[in-house]
Structure 1
Amino acid sequence: MLEDLDRLYQAQRGRNSLFSEKFCAPPNTDMGMIERIIAGRAGNGFWIVGPASSTPSISKKKKQYQKKTIRFVEAMAMPSFARRKAILLSRNLCNSSDVLRYSLLSLTSSARSFSSSGSEENDVVVIGGGPGGYVAAIKAAQLGLKTTCIEKRGALGGTCLNVGCIPSKALLHSSHMYHEAKHAFASHGVKFSSVEVDLPAMMGQKDKAVANLTRGIEGLFKKNKVNYVKGYGKFISPSEVSVDTTEGGSTTVKGKNIIIATGSDVKSLPGVTIDEKKIVSSTGALALSEIPKKLVVIGAGYIGLEMGSVWGRLGSEVTVVEFASDIVPSMDGEVRKQFQRSLEKQKMKFMLKTKVVGVDTSGEGVKLTIEPAAGGEQSTLEADVVLVSAGRTPFTAGLGLDKIGVDTDKAGRITVNERFATTVPGVYAIGDVIPGPMLAHKAEEDGVACVEFIAGKEGHVDYDLVPGVVYTHPEVASVGKTEEQVKALGVEYRVGKFPFMANSRAKAIDDAEGVVKILAEKESDRILGVHIMAPNAGELIHEAVLALHYGASSEDIARTCHAHPTMSEALKEAAMATYDKPIHI
């Protein structure tokens, strides 16, 4: 029967039309009570029609097995495609070889028992109030679990909200507005005598956004009855956390299930000491008191390019030093080259295959000694400010993990299984402290899935379909596999591309630099990856994310009506180019 269910599931992948097929259980199975299963995809898919006309005589043990089977089949009737997929994977009914981890839960739960409402012990304790931690805490409370969240910063939202994603996007937007006013408004008929940067006001707008969002999360905690403890937490046992509070006291928080969500910290470089004045991390780069004439960025990843863009737009001469041969190594190669050319047109300089071997801060500025990555002649690079953006490392210092026996790998990441459980029963970990993309939205998904596991439900996170975005201008957004990855798998594929130069909306607003690229399996037309370089690519990518989650084909997108004129039409045209031919090029 399981093979037949698999066949029905695989048959519907990539289809638009409703179909049904009779299923008959073999006489020697324990599922004779199920006479037929109708599997379809109209809107949201699987359902079961009709009870069995007769039930064979079966033993009590077999009845219990059939009861579980019915739960499984009923679960397949859920409207959520993602949850149905989790259940199919739990029964090994569909191919998960291209999924880094698709978390799922069996019919039984390994979580500890829950506390009564009047108990002092929590059902869930979350250490860390960042995107993963606060989302996990709220979700746990929504599921009826008594929950406490411990946050050392004294402000919720973690690195992302306080000194990362949110303040950087505020500065990216403000600096882009200034750059457009200075360089583009005149071509649209908007003229003025001068435009100036008011850096304190710009920083004030950033800080206002952060403060409002932080207060918003505290409001959500109150709404959902999450207990909030401000302080630094560390394990004293697998079910107890000692907290040194921000007010100077101490307390002990008990929990039947404890989630580690402490995030990550800036990765340092040998011989490069960050003082947040001349040599800054991303935190310091978000709070500079004046615009540096020369800014050197060490590291050509997401953070370095975004912060380089901010200060470059405001007038800094930006040079990016990267040890690797490419910027953003995880990006599709063809899109990466076009992206680098775009940044170079914005006067951002790149020194690839280059390493920093010395730093001198004795003078007014900073002198970096650099040499080729493979070794060779050294040279000096001068700057007013140096930004170190060489990645991040899991933050687990001082948590007492070794005391309770939580294992970590060589990179310092906490070892977890498919249910986010560590090597210590009742202790879980999510977000940046475990393997996987170090992204806020990935941490959020981890948090929800982890709590669902604890509550005895099915959790699901597909790390292969986590979108990534570089928030420069143009933005670059991707989901799924790059062309290099598809080639490495040996899969026959087709490529469809469409430039925004041929998109009517992009031309109308005079912002048409970029491209959409779609990779699809040749035989089935199933989409394998989508890569977009365009204004607001981070918003455009989510149609592709949904398409990949549903196993859609390029024809599915191509035959979906898109409003005109919109930037989204470029995705439709690229899909048409993948399986057939585009209209407008």
Structure 2
Amino acid sequence: MEKVDAIIIGFGKGGKTLAADLAGRGWNVAMIERNDKMYGGTCINIGCIPTKTLIHQANETGCLTRGDKTAEKRHYTEAIEKKNALTAMLRDRNYHNLADNPNIRVYHGEGRFISHNTVSVALADGDTLELGSDHIFINTGARSIIPAIEGVRDSQRVYTSTTIMQLEKLPQRLAIIGGGYIGLEFAFMYASFGSDVTVLDKHSDFIPKEDRDIAAAVKAVMEKKGIEFRMNARTESIRDMTDGVKLSCHDTEGGYSYEIEADAVLLATGRRPETGSLNLAAAGIETDARGAVVVDSRLKTSNPHVWAMGDVKGGPQFTYISLDDYRIIRDDLFGHHARNTADRDPFAYAVFIDPPLSRIGIGEDEARASGMDIGVVRLPAASVPRAHTLEQTDGLLKAVIDKQTGKILGATLFCADSSEVINLIAIAMKTGQPGTFLRDFIFTHPSMSEALNDLMGQPMT
């Protein structure tokens, strides 16, 4: 057995950042990654970077193709090629950032625990080695959930959010099972490329986590894009045909059955922590009902030698949360033990449809249901001058204000550039500023950020 200062299982955002930090402190680090197409982690290979690259390309489709179906298909194929080139470049860069460091050894293989502080690595070349350390970090991410639908594993036309981005031919008809945020991003993307998109959502309410006025605004914009939504939809079977695929569905509210034909099916049914092959029981590491590694507020597992970071520990699956996990672990190892998972709330998220939907903190519906003494301010996106110069006047901005203190409790921005503007609200909330701080702030003009002047100046309801 080889003894090292640190073992990191999984080459994701948190793990790769921690590896470089530890190596810079003189630690001897072993980085284990079983898939050589995942150097750098989910974000750059199958998540944020490829999807946002394709969304950008999709936004250009109308100008470049002018409705020509042949041109749309060609543009889609070119977009996939650009995406592949970008992810390959970033993957290579991420690999060499670690592999070229003399204090880091990258192992292409699958790691599994064989004791509390020992990991066995089945290398891709067939060899096996054992590594021991008192500092082991799990960073194996998550995988797509395959729902128990008859025929789903037999179909040649069913894809996950990972595999559909390798599809070089644009599907003319795309059925998406799942109406969550991932499903919405892909629905918008493929509709923009020219596909006829149908979203099958098991819920009766559209994006139930959002306020109803925001949800209605989002749905109206996406339907205007040509996307069809089937609510209360339970997909019961999937069957390949000669020229496509047929989905048999049931409306759980109406009580009737129907069929949908498509060229491809996307499963957007969520992701589950990737822990199945780690043999966590051998290391005394607890997991929850979904297989997520159980951690405390400083990301320590039930094994004092092991921490977990990123999607594998459950909770919000965002790259920036994985990066913050690294900061918490760094502080736990070398700092004053001041950082923990509780002190990063609230944090923002964004859904990259068009316009993007961004949110932080509590929503109006949740606040009122909790009996909180709040006021709500709203502003149509069409009221913002910059929205007109961008020709993106759809949407709605709103914020929830504590009536007693004037502080911002939450905000939802469904407008152009909201994924950037939401960060300004996040800073105001984290620093305890009242809404009047943004109301009176001097922003550049014309900009979407100056919408906060008007939003926070609206009369509260």
TM normalised by structure 1 equals: 0.73
Tell me if 1:561 matches 2:439: no
Alignment match, 1:539: 420
Q: By how many angstroms is 1:366 displaced?
A: 1.2
Distance 2:316 2:212 in 1: 19
Alignment match, 1:550: 431
Distance 2:89 2:452 in 1: 35
Paired residue secondary structure (1:242): strand
Partner amino acid for 1:573?
D
Q: By how many angstroms is 1:437 displaced?
A: 0.8
How many percent of aligned residue pairs carry the same amino acid?
A: 29
Q: 1:169 aligns with which of 24, 31, 52?
A: 52
Distance 1:479 1:542 in 2: 9
Matches within 5 A, 1:493-508: 493-508=374-389
Residue deviations 1:370-425, cap 9 Å, x none?
A: 11235722111111111111101111011010122211111211111111111111
1:365 touches 1:382 (CA, 8 Å); kept in 2?
A: yes
Distance 1:223 1:488 in 2: 53
Tell me if 1:376 matches 2:255: yes
Paired residue secondary structure (1:472): coil
Partner amino acid for 2:21?
K
Distance 2:209 2:32 in 1: 34
Q: By how many angstroms is 1:363 displaced?
A: 3.7
1:160 touches 1:166 (CA, 8 Å); kept in 2?
A: yes
Structure 1: any 5+ residue segments left out of the alignment? 1-118, 185-191, 581-585
Greater Rg by CA: 1
Identify if the C-alpha distance between structure 1 residues 321 and 525 changes in structure 2 by more than 3 Å, giving closer, same or farther.
same
Residue deviations 1:457-483, cap 9 Å, x none?
A: 332344532221111111101111111
Q: By how many angstroms is 1:530 displaced?
A: 1.4
Q: By how many angstroms is 1:150 displaced?
A: 1.2
Alignment match, 1:157: 40
Distance 1:274 1:419 in 2: 39
Distance 1:334 1:412 in 2: 35
Q: By how many angstroms is 1:131 displaced?
A: 1.9
1:121 touches 1:256 (CA, 8 Å); kept in 2?
A: no
Distance 2:361 2:77 in 1: 40
User: Which deviates more from structure 2 when the two are superposed, residues 266-275 or residues 505-514?
Assistant: 266-275
Alignment match, 1:482: 363
Paired residue secondary structure (1:325): coil
Partner amino acid for 1:137?
A
Residue deviations 1:125-165, cap 9 Å, x none?
A: 21111123222323333455433221111241222221222
Tell me if 1:132 matches 2:10: no
Alignment match, 1:98: none
Alignment match, 1:204: 81
Tell me if 1:122 matches 2:13: no
TM normalised by structure 2 equals: 0.92
Partner amino acid for 2:141?
G
Aligned residues: 454
Residue deviations 1:67-114, cap 9 Å, x none?
A: xxxxxxxxxxxxxxxxxxxxxxxxxxxxxxxxxxxxxxxxxxxxxxxx
Q: By how many angstroms is 1:232 displaced?
A: 0.9
Distance 2:365 2:16 in 1: 36
1:419 touches 1:453 (CA, 8 Å); kept in 2?
A: yes
Identify if the C-alpha distance between structure 1 residues 423 and 375 changes in structure 2 by more than 3 Å, giving closer, same or farther.
farther
Distance 2:102 2:431 in 1: 32
Residue deviations 1:218-269, cap 9 Å, x none?
A: 3432469433222111111121111112233222222211111111000111
Matches within 5 A, 1:292-307: 292-307=171-186
User: Which deviates more from structure 2 when the two are superposed, residues 471-480 or residues 194-203?
Assistant: 194-203
Q: By how many angstroms is 1:579 displaced?
A: 6.8
Distance 1:183 1:480 in 2: 40
1:298 touches 1:388 (CA, 8 Å); kept in 2?
A: yes
Q: By how many angstroms is 1:351 displaced?
A: 0.4
Distance 1:276 1:287 in 2: 17
Matches within 5 A, 1:49-448: 121-154=3-36, 155-182=38-65, 196=72, 197-221=74-98, 222=100, 225-271=103-149, 272-274=151-153, 277-374=156-253, 376-448=255-327
Partner amino acid for 1:220?
N
Tell me if 1:467 matches 2:348: yes
Structure 2: any 5+ residue segments left out of the alignment? none
Alignment match, 1:24: none
Partner amino acid for 2:87?
V
CA-atom RMSD, angstroms?
2.4
1:268 touches 1:390 (CA, 8 Å); kept in 2?
A: yes
